Amino acid sequence: MAERMVKSNGIELWTESFGEPGNPPILLVMGASAQGLLWPEEFIELLVAGGHYVIRYDHRDTGQSTCLDFQTNPYTLEDLARDALGVLDAYGIAAAHLVGASLGGMICQLMSIRHPERVRSLTVMMSTPLRPGIMESFQQAFQGKTPEGAFPPPAPRAIAVQLAAASNPPRNREEAIDFQVKMARTMAASAAPFDEQECRRMVERMFDRARNPAAAMNHGFVPSPTHEQAEALRHLRVPTLVIHGTDDPMFPAAHGVAVAERISGAKLLMLEGMGHDLPRPLFGEISRALLTHTGARA
């Protein structure tokens, strides 16, 4: 593995690569407010063993990447997609297999629409299709309001944790870490036991390496996709795999089904008991699905 800071879209992003650079590349794109470290190394090594060169990175406003004042420097989903394309440019990669989780799945959908020539395949994990109003509906849900729209809102357990944090925000490092561990437990798969000690170690590591831990919340202000972007998704012709959990409390299962329905030819892998996370017991099944989808050694 090799860490590297790269210039992308006018900012600086932390990246880390695994495997042989000559192998088919995979770009891992994590979700909102999340650092690249949330892609587990044990999982990445399975992709490397299958013959891939794998890159993960910290989004802007997370980890060791550039942090911004969102009020004076607002950005959109298009900017986050350009950030990811800039990572590929910095590594000299013409086209890669994209794997996006949660908000990362939306970013990868947009990358595939805007630059299909840069995309060998698309995998959308625990996410939702590009559509207007998605960000606003989640903001409403986490404010205790009933969101409008046909898609199911986050599960009550996820909303309850957010409402508790909004009424009593963390005041220091210890409380911030406690909140993140509690949120991780809420998001965790019912199919696997929750390892609180391992989770706490990771949360502490991410908190301490972040340039500005509070900046990650800026992702919550990113505007929803546009009608034009949502319509373009129906015309996407990139080979697509959708991986979703039956117990996802952030994006209930209907969101994953909708992604597969809106992208022509997409395959859907629904995993029983998977939540809004990557549980270790499912590393093997998920990695095998990815390797089959990308045409590598499964």
> Catalytic residue numbers?
102, 248, 276
In terms of residues, how long is the chain?
298
Q: Where would I find the H helices in 91-187?
A: 103-114, 134-142, 156-167, 173-187
CA dihedral over 30, 235, 224, 270, signed as positive or negative: negative
Spatial distance between the Cα atoms of 232 and 262, rounded to a whole number of angstroms: 10
Other Cβ atoms closer than 10 A to 279: 21
**Cβ–Cβ < 8 Å for 63, 35:** yes
**Secondary structure (3-state) at 8:** strand
107 φ, ψ to 5°? -60, -45
Residue of 62, 47, 48 lying closest to 207 (CA atoms):
62
Contact 244, 129 (CB under 8 A): no
